[in-house]
Amino acid sequence: MRLCRKLGETTLSDILDQLDERRKQARLGGGERRIESQHAKGKLTARERLELLLDPGSFEEFDMFVTHRSTDFGMEKNKMAGDGVVTGWGTINGRKTFVFAQDFTVFGGSLSETHAKKINKVQEMAMRHGAPIIGLQDSGGARIQEGVAALAGYTDVFQNNILASGVIPQISVIMGPSAGGAVYSPALTDFIFMVRDSSYMFLTGPDVLKTVTNEVVTAEELGGAKTHTSKSSVADGAYDNDMQALSEIRRLFDFLPLNNRSGVPSRPFYDEHDRIDESLNTLVPDNPNIPYDMKELVTKLADEGDFFEIQQDFAKNILCGFIRLEGQTVGVVANQPMVLAGCLDSDASRKAARFVRFCDCFEIPILTLVDVPGFLPGTSQEYGGVIKHGAKLLYAFGEATVPKVTVITRKAYGGAYCVMAPKHLRGDINYAWPSAQIAVMGAKGAVEILHRKDLGDPEKIAAHTADYEEKFLSPFRAAERGYIDEVIQPQSTRKRVCRALALAKDKKLENPWKKHGNLPL
């Protein structure tokens, strides 16, 4: 036995010390000064964000010591472990997910060839293992020093986004800048969320706009959270700070399947499936022209009133989001009479169509709540392509093979009736409340067309109106033809919907074989 080691000989203890030191340096990212700068902006670091997003102690990191390979512009003298992105996997409430978080303290989070390869690796692992991927974006864009290699890296990321679409859920959280080509990866994912006052997205920044088009605009006005949640519909939601955003992503994650074959997640529920809610009997006003809040119905149907709304600030005339019924995720699409009387327009149609297609991708049943007087009229809608946008929603509902349950609470007129998941688009169970009015149009408009010669006689018009309402606006006319499976009491809606979804749970429905359809984009 040797009592001493030779000069220069390395022991295992030395190697472990070196490993610890290298890990310590890697975890510091760009260093203490840049971390302090990140905190001064009200932003967390990449690693701090992952600690909040994932279950404590669950994060397993990959490629901690990867560095870039660039030798131009003196870059070979400036290498940092991790190369500006932290990648790996962990769990959220015990369910597996893959993650990457761009580190703004390292080269401004800019994307290099190796940075992109790290993201590619977790994207491909997520697809292979059938788990969602969550990207926390905080990047200045492509690393200029690497030129086309960085652009190629971005395109590799985009290609994987496309291949993963409909296979695993993809979530993007914009937590800092995202400019130029960097915006396309989030745009290809299923959901985008932003942080108010500290994140923005645009293809062309304010400085370039000022030079090229002479427009003067701030980064916030051009691509901030308010712009993208209320005007462009690029983002699905926005939160006040990093902590709130990551907490809400955890909440959303609980609603989502792990992949397109896993089925919807199930969790314990503490709400009776046959709960009767008598307040729903008076939800719809007697006067058909008075609005009511459809969100009240959604929350009263949901387990424990939990509703995760998607695109809350855009196209408010339609509601989209997730609830649970008997512990299982259900996607909800509902007209909102409080905004534009619940009319469908281009924005509402696009918003709902994308949501329906997401639900169908991942076998999430769809509940549709209908109170729609028609499509919004006007030249702005027609010039804006409302025909094609409305067709997107029609296509989405008609293509969907998941369980579909529809409840008509009040108006279902004309082409809008055809679009909102009627029996004729392979609806499984279609209910109507006694207050439902299902017709080509409302009584007033119909009578003015059908009885034009009597327009000067108020008594005759009143009689014709009453006759039309009795014959055509009653839900029983549709029920007599089998277009409505049952006219139900409002108070028992939760019970009836739960029973309908239980019936449709194991249905088998396939579309004709095709490479893919030609969605009216």
Task: Give the DSSP letter of residue 251.
Answer: H
* Contact yes or no for 333/319 (Cβ under 8 A): yes
**What Cα–Cα distance (Å) separates residue 137 from each residue in 86, 172, 175, 195?**
11, 7, 6, 11
Of 448, 417, 435, give the one whose Cα is nearest residue 474. 435
Integer Cα distance of 134 and 53 in angstroms: 10
Q: What HEC string does 67-115 produce?
A: CCCCCHHHHHHCCCCCCCEEEEEEEECCEEEEEEEECCCCHHHCECHHH
* Contact yes or no for 384/375 (Cβ under 8 A): no
Q: What is the CA radius of gyration of the chain?
A: 27
**Which is the catalytic residue, given 84, 88, 141, 180?**
180
* Contact yes or no for 315/347 (Cβ under 8 A): yes
Q: Which residue has the tokens 């030395």?
A: 14
Specify the DSSP element, H or E, that contains 427: none
Of 183, 89, 171, 182, give the one whose Cα is nearest residue 134. 171
Residue 165 CB neighbour total at 10 angstroms: 15
Task: Give the DSSP letter of residue 198.
Answer: T
**What Cα–Cα distance (Å) separates residue 114 from each residue in 50, 66, 81, 110, 322?**
21, 7, 11, 11, 37
Of 147, 71, 64, give the one whose Cα is nearest residue 106. 64
**What Cα–Cα distance (Å) separates residue 304 from each residue in 63, 327, 333, 468?**
42, 10, 19, 41
* Contact yes or no for 305/512 (Cβ under 8 A): no
* Contact yes or no for 170/164 (Cβ under 8 A): yes
| Bridge partners for 101 per DSSP | 86, 136
Integer Cα distance of 365 and 323 in angstroms: 11
Q: What HEC string does 22-65 produce?
A: HHHHHHCCCCHHHHHHHHHCCCCCHHHHHHHHCCCCCCEEECCC
* Contact yes or no for 105/30 (Cβ under 8 A): yes
The yes-or-no answer on residue 180 being catalytic is yes
**Tokens describing residue 53:** 């997003």
Specify the DSSP element, H or E, that contains 255: helix 242-255
**What Cα–Cα distance (Å) separates residue 89 from each residue in 98, 132, 166?**
4, 10, 20
**Which is the catalytic residue, given 46, 126, 400, 416?**
416
The yes-or-no answer on residue 415 being catalytic is yes
**Which is the catalytic residue, given 166, 384, 415, 445?**
415
Q: What is the widest separation between alpha-carbon atoms in the chain?
A: 118
Catalytic residue list: 180-181, 415-416
